[in-house]
Structure formats: structure tokens, C-alpha cells
Amino acid sequence: MNVYEKIGLPKVINCSGKMTKLGVSTLSESVKEAISNAGSHYVVIDDLLDTVGNEIAKIIHCEDICVTASASSGIVIAVAATITGDHLSLIESMPNHNQKKKEVILQKGHAVNYGAPMETMINIGGGTPVLVGQSNKVEREHIEQAITEDTCALLYVKSHHAVQKGMQSIETMIDIARNHKIPLIVDAAAEEDLEKYYNMGADLVIYSGAKALAGPASGFIAGRQSLIKSCKKQYKGIGRAMKVGKENMMGLYQAILDYQEKNSTKDHQMYCVETMMKELNDIEGINIKLVQDEAGREIFRAQLKIDEKIFNKNAYDLGDYLKQGNPSIYTREHYINLGILNFDFRSVTTNELQQVIMKIKDF
């Protein structure tokens, strides 16, 4: 029995993926040890923020790092930094400032809700979102014609939540940012490559510490030293409400060290998908196939589609049924209106896989 079950909550089998609503990831023994050890000692927090940032920067080969409480707070802090620079009085006035240079250009297909609206994070950071193009088509001209003397940054969202077609590429965004001498912020919260976007030329790149890295609730901004200096200084203003503790800073650092030696989970994912197909594809009205993550990451899922006319029940019914009881099984329901449930097996054991299969058979 885990600690959540002890207070009356059901065990959760996470077939949804590394999602905030399910606690994102579970921690390795080395990360738990780092958190425990850090929590047992005192340290000068400003020094720790700088030192951990420097150490992570060495690992992922960028100029500097600002550790944050989450990827969301990273977006807020990055936006604020492009407005305030290191001007202390302005930092202390955020987000209620009098600066005209506060517009953040965002492709309309990237104005997503990932649990909260992207535009809200821009607003909290003192910025004004400027959405360009249409939700399924953005031209380079849309972006360039929106740039004015009041533009403080461009923002690119690399996420499965974002529209995957019809948007301008990150290469185009980098080119525009360079031509107009405007910082480009990349939200790469769940991305697995910690060097790619900075090496391509992005000025600030934001990652979650709890998703691909499987660390504690945390995040970080990688980028140019001058901008990262401004990011760190936000802890004297709005960043104070988003401060990250010593335990999570060291847990994040250990998770990044571990991540450099991580093994691919592709074989486990493929085994789970193939087992599910073998066990359930004989059921009339259910079809299961292998699909890869929408954003192109090394994530392979089982896509279960229900033919309601044959099965006499729909995907909503199955999704609700799986969540009932103990264990409670959560799937990816992004396409449930199309009769589809996706199963992400990165965090699922072989024993839990059998429980999922049996529960679907019993439906």
C-alpha cells in the first residue's frame, strides 16, 4: 500500500504519460537520496541557484541555466526577463509595469491550453500575447509583419498540444529572431534533447525537470548568459512566488546526471503495445494499432479505437470505466471524441499491463 492509498486514494496506473495531473513521474533511488540529503542541510540559496545552474550548463553545453519551480514558471520568468533586463525597480514592479516593449509574438496554433492557457503565462510575466496567423496556417509574413518596436520576444511552443501542421518551423523562428534582433523563447517542456534548441540558436529554452528527466517538481531555462542573469533576478520580484527549494534543485541536478546514462524504453513500450494488440484485437468493435508521439519523440503508444455501432459502447464509456475502482487506470483522452483512447506505457510495469488488459476484457 502506497502513501496515497493510506489516506484513502486509489492506486493509479498511469497509461496517460508524464502528465502533471497524475504527478508527472516517479523518482529514482538516486534522486530520492539527493533530495533527502539536500533537505538535511543548510545552504545559501542564491549560491546554490548559481552553482547548480553552472553545473547543469556544463552538462548540456550552454552559457548558463536558471533553475525554476516548473516549466510554467520558466515561461513566466523568461518573458519577464525580456521586458525588464536586470533593472531592479522594474523587476519589483512586475507584472504591473509601464513598459511599452512587452509584446510576445506567438503563432496562433501554439496558443494552447496545456492545463492552463499559454497566454496566461505570458500575462503573468508582464507580457502581452500577440497571436499571428490562423490556428491551422501561419505564414512567415504573419510573424514579421507583427513585429514592432514594442516586441520583446518571439515564443515557440514545441509540444504535442500545439498544432503540428501549417505552423512556421523553429528554424524560421530563429531566422526571424536573428534578423530582427529579438530574443526567441522556446517552450520545450517535455522534450528529450536538452541541447538541440539552444544549439540551433534559440536564446532561452525552457524544460520541465519532472517529465523527460523524471526529476522532482522543477524546471530550468537554458540560454544566453545575459538573459539568464535577468531570469535569475526575477526572484527579487514575481519569481519569489515561484521559488524552488534546495531539495528540488539538487533532485533536478541528480536527475540530469542520471539522464545522461539513461537507457531507451523503446523495447518496453513496443512489448506492451504488441501484447495489448495480441490480447485485445480479437474483440469485435475494438481495433488497436501502434502510433508514435505526435511531436516525434521516441514514445510509442497503443491507439485503441472503438466502433460504437459494433461494440455498443463508446470511448467515453470505456475511459470512465477504466478510472473506476482500485486501481484507477488513466489513459490519454485527447481524441476521445473520435472514439480513440491512447495508452502510454513508459510508466507501466508488465504486471500493471496485464491489469489494464483484464479490465478492458471485463468491460
CATH number for the domain that contains residue 77:
3.40.640.10
Cα 62 versus chain centre, distance:
20
Name the amino acid, one letter, at 119: E
Residues 127 and 207 in one domain: yes
Q: What is the pLDDT of residues 46-69, one digit of tens each?
A: 999 999 999 999 999 999 999 999
276 and 199 within one domain: no
Residue 232: the pLDDT is 98
Structural element, H or E, at residue 209 = none
Report helix, strand or coil for 282: coil
Distance between CA 83 and CA 100 in Å, rounded?
9
Residues 158 and 291 both lie in one domain: no
pTM, two decimals, is 0.91
Q: Which of 259, 276, 293 is the last residue of a domain?
A: 259
Residues 229 and 327 reside in one and the same domain? no
238 and 326: one domain?
A: no
Give the Å distances, CA to CA, from 207 to 57, 106, 214, 234: 13, 18, 12, 18
Q: Are residues 241 and 279 in the same domain?
A: no
Select from 259, 274, 292 the last residue of a domain: 259
Asked if the bond preceding 129 is cis, omega within 30° of 0, the reply is no
Residue 115: other Cβ atoms inside 10 A: 10
What pLDDT does residue 319 have? 96
Query: Does one domain contain both 50 and 120?
Result: yes
Helix pair 246-259, 45-60: axis angle to 10 deg = 10
Taking only the tens of pLDDT, the chain with its 363 residues reads 899 999 999 999 999 999 999 999 999 999 999 999 999 999 999 999 999 999 999 999 999 999 999 999 999 999 999 999 999 999 999 999 999 999 999 999 999 999 999 999 999 999 999 999 999 999 999 999 999 999 999 999 999 889 999 999 999 999 999 999 999 999 999 999 999 999 999 999 999 999 999 999 999 999 999 999 999 999 999 999 999 999 999 999 999 999 988 878 899 999 999 999 999 999 999 999 999 988 788 899 999 999 999 999 999 999 999 999 899 999 999 999 999 999 999 999 999 999 999 999 999
Domain span at residue 323 reads: 3-23+263-361
Q: What pLDDT, on the 0 to 100 scale, is given for residue 70?
A: 97
Structural domain count of the chain: 2
Same domain, 254 and 300: no
Q: Same domain, yes or no, for 308 and 322? A: yes
Decide if 246 is inside a domain: yes
Which residue is listed with cell 483522452?
333
**Residues 238, 164 share a domain:** yes
Note whether 107 and 63 are within 8 A (CB). Answer: no
- Indicate the pairing of strand 151-157 with strand 340-344: unpaired
In the chain the first and final C-alpha atoms are separated, in Å, by 26
Where does residue 136 fall: left (phi above 0), alpha (psi -120 to 50 degrees), or beta otherwise?
alpha
